[in-house]
């Protein structure tokens, strides 16, 4: 089934395994094989890695943060330098968020009203204002292939406020759609509604009703339990159109990816693999390795014997531990390469399992293998 | 002319241009085309770069620091992990210094006597002792292709003490030769003598008389003027055997390389290109660029239009300036790639000019091109 979801974007579902599916999401900068995991390049760089490293680990989609890039170096500068792809030397697909999440989490928010948000920069304390129209204008200057509607991500447990924020997010999504001028960018609306099943259902229906080429799910992975996250995904699933890619924002761990795909998610992003790497922690199937541990000093094995990444093909745990102890920045680079490759390789496996029809039956075993990498309670398929 | 300078090493001079020459220095880990510039990998890594980056810029020889590797992770650990080549994933030639220079410059030296040096680690304050025999034992554990005799680098302007340190260095060189057991390592003696012409001549004669496959020149690039450095090179030149490679330690800038080759030097190393890179400074022919400068914010040119490195082929000055301002570590990586490539490319040009006989006549123009990169007064050819 191929769906022309907008003039320059197509989404073709190539295999299904109950709710899980593989697809090809065609964008102006190339095809994404879904489900896909996107490394995060907040400030126009995936921290400590070159675009060449990212190509080597078969990364296809990279995320940039609108809030950060607006503040520094400025979206107009990026536009004048040929757009974010040219600026950062990444010529495969890019996705930008709307800035909403960071305005509410990083900046000092000064005033939220129905028109927009006034906030204070976390960098220099200057005052700024984002509206739906402004977020789209910034994202059009940046020029990513996939862009997000401006949204408000509220405290997920306060039903009354969550409803207010959700309603505002819906009105903002309509304004974003109207403000958008470029047809080489796919705008996704964002479902909110916290962990309230009624609000999630209402938001899913509303966002699904908009004429957008994709659907994002926001406000999860912000402190709720895994049970709550999965319950919300289950509530939304039947309300989402089959023919549009679904993006679960800010998720996650290896288990989150498996659990998300099981619930019909196509796109993921998360800072976790690179953030953990800079804190010496590596994804392996037995659990996370803290490579600073003295027990690794003379360890002649790679981080993961089964991994095909440059780091695992070239260096021992003992060498990486030495780099960490000696405060050599290369440690962060090498572990980032491994951690990102681990998630991208997991997605490659998942795609092949969906293609051969074995994903659902393999999922419990996969979840068991990656147990120990969860930050919170694991919930199996 | 091919000289078998020891069972596992050969040095073949392939072209000469007055004192400048090209050669092939055969080592157990491959051939070095000389003159050659070696990036410094103090702690078993060239800071912020992978071995893959080093191969991409055509680095052939890398230097490791015995003092640092002895203290951390320890030379016995490196030996047990398969030697420094395997440990750091660099399978081309390696050179280690003797630890002498760092013991006198970095550690708190507690006692120098004719037998050796007792010093306090700059890392944890523990007490250690290096002797010529200990330096060789450490370097045999590390396993570099080219190793150095233990030497004392003294205040270059004090004739009396410089003579004492030089005499000690000579006795230590003899002890190093005697202590050496591996025939897959080429031990170089080190000429000292400060900026005293009589001592330099005496030291050159003595070190040249030893049965070593190469000659190192220490104690220059430590605070003397360029005129003094060149005067010393001129004093030593006629006393050095034609058939052994000559290594000028810790040098240098683009001009230093040109001036050194003009005076018969074959091997150079220096931390400058990578250290400058981490301080945002890039080698270009017009002078050094401080890439943090606000004037580069919207600059769409690469660091150097003529450079073939990954950084210059991929990124603008504006992007690199953004990385610096945003405190992204990738800036150091990208500028290190460029700065090292600039020196390695300069050496490639010099080799081709020596081969076609044009180096001496081109040298004044080359020195003029690289003017502005000197730290001290420039001296032309």
Kindly compute the dihedral angle of the four CA atoms of residues B139, B141, B144, B150, in this order, to the nearest 10 degrees: 0
| pLDDT for res A108 | 80
A238 — phi, psi (to 5°)?
-65, -15
| pLDDT for res A223 | 84
pLDDT tens string B175-197: 999 999 999 999 999 999 999 99
Which chain B residues have a beta carbon less than 8 Å from that of A43? 322-323, 326, 328
What does the pLDDT average to over B224-239? 95
What does the pLDDT average to over A217-237? 93
| pLDDT for res A1 | 61
What does the pLDDT average to over A26-40? 98
Radius of gyration of chain A (CA): 20
Going from the C-alpha of B195 to that of each of B108, B220, B221, the distances in angstroms are: 24, 8, 11
Q: Name the percent of chain A lying above pLDDT 70.
A: 97
Question: How near does any CA of chain B get to the CA of A23, in Å?
Answer: 31
Which pair of tokens denotes residue B152?
Answer: 């004392």
pLDDT tens string B273-297: 999 999 999 999 888 999 999 999 9
Question: Do residues B13 and B1 touch, judged by C-beta distance below 8 A?
Answer: yes
Residues 6+ apart with CB under 8 A from B139: B66, B75, B96, B98, B147, B148, B185
| pLDDT for res A371 | 82
Angle between helices A254-262 and A359-369 (to 10 degrees): 160
A16 has a pLDDT exceeding 60 = yes
| pLDDT for res A198 | 97
| pLDDT for res A343 | 98
Which pair of tokens denotes residue B6?
Answer: 């020891």
Going from the C-alpha of B44 to that of each of A338, B62, B64, B136, the distances in angstroms are: 20, 10, 6, 18
- Whole-structure pTM value: 0.96
Instruction: Give the domains, in start order, of chain B with CATH numbers.
Output: 8-270 (3.20.20.105), 277-369 (no CATH)
pLDDT tens string A329-361: 999 999 999 999 999 999 999 999 999 999 999
What does the pLDDT average to over A130-158? 94
Active site residue A269: yes
| pLDDT for res B1 | 61
pLDDT tens string A255-311: 999 999 999 999 999 999 999 999 999 999 888 999 999 999 999 999 999 999 999
- Beta-strand (E) ranges in chain A? 2-6, 9-17, 20-27, 30-34, 36-39, 62-64, 94-96, 108-112, 117-120, 127-130, 146-148, 186-191, 214-217, 246-248, 267-270, 281-284, 287-290
Which element (helix H / strand E) includes A332? helix A330-355
What is the rounded end-to-end Cα distance, in angstroms, of chain A? 26
State how far the Cα of B104 lies from the Cα of B120, in Å rounded to an integer.
11
What does the pLDDT average to over A74-83? 98
CB-neighbour burial class of residue B181 (10 A; exposed 0-12, middle 13-18, buried 19+):
exposed
Q: Which region among A202-211, B12-21, B157-166 has the lowest average model confidence (pLDDT)? A: B157-166
Which element (helix H / strand E) includes B284? strand B281-284
Nearest to B59 by CA among B256, B355, B341, B349: B341
Q: Mutate which of A322, A324, A325, A332 to disrupt the B interface (most B C-beta within 10 Å)?
A: A322
Those residues of chain A whose CB sits closer than 8 Å to some CB in chain B are 43-45, 47-52, 68, 72-73, 77, 80-82, 87-89, 297-298, 300, 310, 314-316, 318-319, 322-323, 325-326, 328-330, 332-334
Which chain B residues have a beta carbon less than 8 Å from that of A319? 44, 81, 87-89
Question: Do residues A202 and A235 touch, judged by C-beta distance below 8 A?
Answer: no
Going from the C-alpha of B6 to that of each of B35, B214, B244, the distances in angstroms are: 20, 10, 11
Q: Which region among A147-156, A176-185, B259-268 has the lowest average model confidence (pLDDT)? A: A147-156
CB contact under 8 A, A44 and B81: no
Active site residue B75: no
A86 has a pLDDT exceeding 50 = yes
pLDDT tens string B143-158: 999 999 999 988 777 8
State how far the Cα of B257 lies from the Cα of B250, in Å rounded to an integer.
11
Q: Which residue has the higher pLDDT, B1 or B7?
A: B7
Spell A100-119 as b/e; 16+ CB within 10 A means b: bbbbbebbeeeebeeebbbb
CB contact under 8 A, B333 and A333: yes
Q: Which one of B45, B88, B298 has the shortest CB-CB distance to A77?
A: B298
pLDDT tens string B46-88: 999 999 999 999 999 999 999 999 999 999 999 999 999 999 9
- Residue found by looking up tokens 């091997």 in the block: B267
What does the pLDDT average to over B363-381? 67
Question: How near does any CA of chain A get to the CA of B274, in Å?
Answer: 13
What does the pLDDT average to over B291-308? 97
Q: Which one of A89, A319, A325 has the shortest CB-CB distance to B87?
A: A319
- Residue found by looking up tokens 């953990």 in the block: A276
B161 has a pLDDT exceeding 80 = yes
B309 has a pLDDT exceeding 80 = yes
């Amino acid at each position: 089934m191929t769906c022309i979801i907008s003039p320059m974007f197509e989404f073709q579902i190539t295999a299904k395994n109950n709710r899980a599916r593989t697809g090809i999401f065609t964008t102006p900068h190339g095809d994404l094989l879904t489900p896909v995991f996107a490394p995060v390049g907040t400030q126009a760089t995936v921290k400590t890695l070159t675009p060449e490293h990212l190509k080597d680990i078969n990364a296809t989609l990279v995320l940039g943060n609108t809030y950060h890039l607006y503040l520094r170096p400025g979206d107009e500068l990026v536009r004048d330098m040929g757009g974010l792809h040219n600026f950062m030397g990444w010529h495969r697909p890019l996705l930008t968020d709307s800035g909403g999440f960071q305005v509410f989490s990083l900046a000092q928010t000064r005033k939220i009203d129905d028109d927009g948000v006034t906030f204070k920069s976390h960098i220099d304390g200057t005052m700024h204002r984002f509206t739906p129209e402004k977020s789209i204008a910034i994202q059009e200057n940046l020029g990513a292939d996939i862009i997000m509607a401006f949204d408000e991500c509220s405290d997920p447990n306060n039903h009354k406020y969550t409803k207010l924020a959700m309603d505002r997010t819906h009105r903002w999504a309509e304004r974003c759609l109207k403000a958008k001028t470029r047809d080489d960018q796919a705008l996704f609306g964002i479902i909110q509604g916290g962990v309230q099943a009624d609000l999630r259902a209402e938001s899913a229906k509303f966002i699904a009703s908009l004429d957008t080429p994709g659907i994002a799910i926001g406000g999860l992975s912000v402190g709720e339990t895994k049970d709550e996250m999965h319950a919300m995904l289950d509530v939304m699933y039947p309300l989402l159109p089959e023919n549009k890619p679904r993006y679960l924002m800010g998720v996650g761990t290896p288990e989150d990816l498996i659990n998300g795909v099981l619930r019909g998610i196509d796109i993921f992003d998360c800072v976790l693999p690179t953030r953990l790497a800079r804190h010496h922690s590596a994804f392996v199937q037995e659990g996370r390795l803290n490579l600073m541990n003295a027990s690794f000093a003379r360890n002649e094995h790679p981080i993961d014997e089964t991994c095909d990444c440059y780091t695992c093909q070239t260096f021992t745990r003992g060498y990486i531990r030495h780099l960490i102890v000696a405060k050599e920045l290369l440690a962060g680079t090498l572990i980032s390469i491994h951690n990102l490759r681990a998630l991208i390789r997991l997605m490659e496996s998942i795609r092949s399992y969906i293609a051969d029809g074995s994903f659902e039956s393999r999922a419990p075993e996969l979840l068991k293998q990656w147990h120990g990498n969860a930050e919170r309670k694991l919930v199996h398929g």
